[in-house]
Structure 1
Amino acid sequence: MAKVKYRFNPNNLTYEKYHPHFWEKFLRIFGFLSTSILFSFIIVFILFYFFQSPKEKHLERKLEQYSMQYEMMNPEPIPKNVRDAGFGGIERYDHLKHHNNKKVVENAANQIEVLSKELSVLNDSYNELAKLANNKKEMLNSIPAIQPVKNNDLNKIASGFGNRVHPIYKTKKFHSGLDFTASPGTKVFATGEGKVVEAEYSRRGYGNRLVIQHGYGYKTMYCHLKKFHVEEGEKIKRGELVAEVGNTGLSTGPHLHYEVIKNSKAIDPINFFHNDLTPKEY
């Protein structure tokens, strides 16, 4: 049923029924639709130009890895003067001056020595490239790249990175990691190669906490644990069992609080699951 509208008539001091004209209704609807479309366009523009989609983030990480790999595996070529590895001494072949084929022997000896020097320089260069390749492999193995608990159905992440209402204090606080819901005793795995620098039992805050130093500025932290399977100082590999999920410290239920720390600053762990997830799963 249409809503009846009234207007005040100052001539007879009474309210009278008001029936808007067709064009008045049309302009009102047109104005509403135009405003809605304009705001929708602005929102889409902001999202498109200022926020990255999961697929774009995944591609950006891949591009960074490829760029780093290119820089490490494509250094500046050895300058010709270094590669030629010059050698001096105008009397190097005086002992051949009485030989019947002195010129031929001198040229052959000279070419052999030049090639030997070049081979030595190139060998050093290849050794350096092999070292860079090993460092690259070590770095890729060290940077966190998997989820700390098995989460194939992607339904265990209970709380994301960023501002949220704290489940206990009921105030807005910054959450510096991801929370994975899991039953006590669920296996926790190292997300990258590294060294255990902290395995602390505590009833406060993060509860039982494990910290792994991965190098290259990266650390990972695993909190509210029930039990450790590694000790401080122990070196571990990606995917190795390091602990079990618990409910220790300031916690409302069994879960794992997981953090990725780069250069002493917590960053969103969701960007470090690329060995586990496809862009579509992100």
Structure 2
Amino acid sequence: MSKKVKYYYDTENLAYHKIKPQKRKKVGYALLFLIASALFGFLCFVVLMNTPYFETPKDKIQAREIDNMKIRYSILNKKIENIEQVAADLEERDNNLYRIYFNSAPISNEKRRGIIDIERYKELEGYNNSDLVINTSKKVDGISKALAFQSKSLDEILKLAKAKDKLLSAVPAIQPVKNEDLRHMASGFGYRTDPFTKAKKMHEGMDFTAKTGTPIYATGDGVVKKADNSLSGYGNHIEISHGFGYLTLYAHLSKYKVRPGQRVKRGDIIGYVGSTGRSQAPHLHYEVHKDGKVVNPINFYYGNISAAEYVAISKIANQENQSLD
């Protein structure tokens, strides 16, 4: 097939002339075609690269790593949930068992976990799985703060437990005179007849009758505050400060066995029964003070008497008889 020849009409000479093609235009058209083909091919490549139907080996490796990461984060979140449950159980016992037992106020969840600083997670934003990573990081930070706070709380509980031991040792919990040494209990706490004026007045302690020289025992751990006869009517007397607001007084002693400033333990002999001061017969006048106020000593005899003995002493103590001082 012969190549087509193109002609043009010359109006001046009234004749047809043959059109001779220019080589430059041919080359230009060829280059333009090549550039357009290359651009089209590049666009197709970009489109294919961004579709899930075309993956390079590197893309497949990255996809597997992302899937593995998601699985590991899922396992991590389950472990965190288990730890959170254990921490919640600890917090529950801390607030509703330990702190109630030691008479301490419970701690709120807000105080345990503190305030979360949202700004610290800014660097984790902008990625495909940012929500997963940020939420997991928040959980880890929250449980870390809770466990750190719980550790401090348990240290506080330990201190409270040690203080509780001291409190239990300090509370005046026994009779100051042993039952086998008693003749009888002459008078209890409350309004009684004064042996000298015969008028009724408040008797702020309990009277235990016993022979002169009968040992008197400290009813709780403490420090001897006084061992003298400075209080009118009490004769030779001892005051012991037990701490926690407790103070005990032992009056009408024949002699002392302790001195001011000396530490004593519950059950230590501190002096001996006598009849010094305003007293009608050998006996021990015993008082218990709590936070500066006198209280009925019978409420504290749980350390060395049985229930039957307590009932018997309580019955005698409540009789409106005459006191011995």
Judge conservation of contact 1:201–1:208 (CA < 8 Å) in 2: yes
Where do 1:41-190 residues align within 5 Å?
71-73=100-102, 77-88=106-117, 90=119, 113-152=141-180, 155-167=183-195, 169-174=196-201, 175-190=203-218
Q: Among 251, 256, 259, which residue is 1:231 paired with?
A: 259
1:243 aligns to 2:271 (yes or no): yes
Count of matched residue positions in the alignment of Structure 1 and Structure 2 = 212
Query: Offset of 1:127 from its aligned partner?
Result: 1.7
Looking at secondary structure, tell me which structure has more helix per residue. 2
Judge conservation of contact 1:229–1:243 (CA < 8 Å) in 2: yes
Deviation digits for residues 192-227 of structure 1, max 9, x if unmatched?
222221111369621101111223332211011122
Name structure 1 gaps, 5 residues minimum.
1-68
1:258 aligns to 2:286 (yes or no): yes
CA separation of 1:110 and 1:239: change in aligned 2, threshold 3 A: same
Judge conservation of contact 1:163–1:172 (CA < 8 Å) in 2: no
CA separation of 1:83 and 1:212: change in aligned 2, threshold 3 A: same
Deviation digits for residues 232-270 of structure 1, max 9, x if unmatched?
122222212211112222223322111112333333222
Deviation digits for residues 130-166 of structure 1, max 9, x if unmatched?
2222333322222211100111486431222233333
CA separation of 1:156 and 1:235: change in aligned 2, threshold 3 A: same
Judge conservation of contact 2:206–2:285 (CA < 8 Å) in 1: yes
Name structure 2 gaps, 5 residues minimum.
1-97, 312-325
1:220 is paired with a residue of what secondary structure? strand
Q: Which residue of 2 aligns with 1:42?
A: none
TM-score, normalised on structure 2? 0.54
CA separation of 1:148 and 1:135: change in aligned 2, threshold 3 A: same
TM-score, normalised on structure 1? 0.61
Q: Distance in 1 between matches of 2:131 and 2:231?
A: 87
1:280 is paired with a residue of what secondary structure? helix
Q: CA RMSD in A?
A: 3.5
- Aligned residue identity for 1:123: S
